[in-house]
Amino acid sequence: MKEQLMEMLESRKDEMIEIRRHLHEHPELSFKEEKTAQYILDFYEGKDVEVQSNVGNGFGIVVTIKGGKPGKSIGLRADFDALPIIEEADVPFKSKNEGVMHACGHDGHTAYLLVLADCLIQLKDEIPGTIKIIHQHAEEVPPGGAKSIVESGILDDLDNVFGIHLLPLGPAGVVGYHSGYSFNGRAYMKLKIQGRGGHGSSPHLANDAIVAGAHFVTAAQTIISRRLSPFENGVITIGSFDGKGTFNVIKDSVELEGDIRYMTDETKKKIEHEVKRIVKGIEEEFGVTCELAYENDYPPLYNDPEITEKVAEYLKNANDKDIKEVKEFPPMAPSEDFAYYAEKFLSCFFYIACTPKGEKDPYFNHHPKFDIDEDALLVAAKAVGYVVCGYYEVE
């Protein structure tokens, strides 16, 4: 089966590229991926599988491939939403939806998995178990699609879940993995500080919300530098400070918005506790009132060490001309809602390098000029294919 699967994937490389380019030309934002979902559904039309649509809180799709023999059940996940970015990449298949772009590689994720799934459908009699193909909507915008798909119960029979991400961290042919905590968790905060406005000449008759807000910005950074261990990962970014006013008027109120990242659940709890403690202190110190909205979004992504070790072993033993190097990557600073699958199931989320040929300083995911080496699509399909074959111990 393994050799046959790889031959099938190689013969359909051009199809993967064609699908990726079609999706790239027609990107859709999170929770609005109606046409993309229909394209995926049309692909499975007439195939001997069970297809469930509108799974979770949006356009999620789960395709169940029942093998010819009894055995374990696994999930293979790919996301398919795009970003609100005006594309600047100079490609002939540029986005036709103004202000929307596949700047994170989800078009490639969907393209490789569609073809891989079709090949597995044709070979399903050889599979000792069940494979659920998870086409997930809305990875980019909290609450995301993964959490709702997990909570729907449609995946409750799974033993493990696998997924990949295209990242320009090396040439096509490089596959990376990381054991343990691998992607940051994320939280969002919004703070409104209500003071008392007044004339700039008479600060003693007012209560300056900007001064209180500025103090919060500075104090929040001490959480990272003075409350976390030097061996903990944490970031607090105040990305918005809305204090626009008139130069000689003391501001009545200000609003701040921030992004918080952390690598472990323990750090998540610590940062949230300290933020709330500082807000209380500012109310007391400056005599203001504060309204704090603090929302934990995606949890840290934890790759099960045992499963990840097996994935690395499967790939290192592949001896495939298209998979040229398999190596351990460092933890990643961004967040990923694949973390919700990994919270419930022992999982592994690994990386497919995709730096465009000739690029020494490639644009990273979410950049308007982001692009991939499309050779990475076949690498992704083969890599996940080898994981499936290794998992089920089929030759």
Residue with tokens 């990381």: 178
Enzyme catalytic residues = 81, 139
Tokens of 243: 């204090």
Listed in order, strand segments (DSSP E) in the chain are 50-55, 60-66, 69-79, 128-136, 160-171, 174-177, 180-183, 185-194, 198-199, 234-242, 249-250, 253-262, 289-296, 301-303, 325-328, 346-355
Q: Do the Cβ atoms of 376 and 166 come closer than 8 Å?
A: yes
Closest CA to 336 of 323, 353, 354, 348: 348
Q: How many CA atoms lie within 13 A of 186 on its CB side?
A: 21
The Cα–Cα gap between 245 and 92 comes to 46
Q: Is the dihedral of CA 239, 355, 357, 102 positive or negative?
A: negative
Q: Do the Cβ atoms of 82 and 138 come closer than 8 Å?
A: no
Cis before 142? omega within 30:
no
Q: Do the Cβ atoms of 83 and 29 come closer than 8 Å?
A: yes
The Cα–Cα gap between 132 and 49 comes to 10
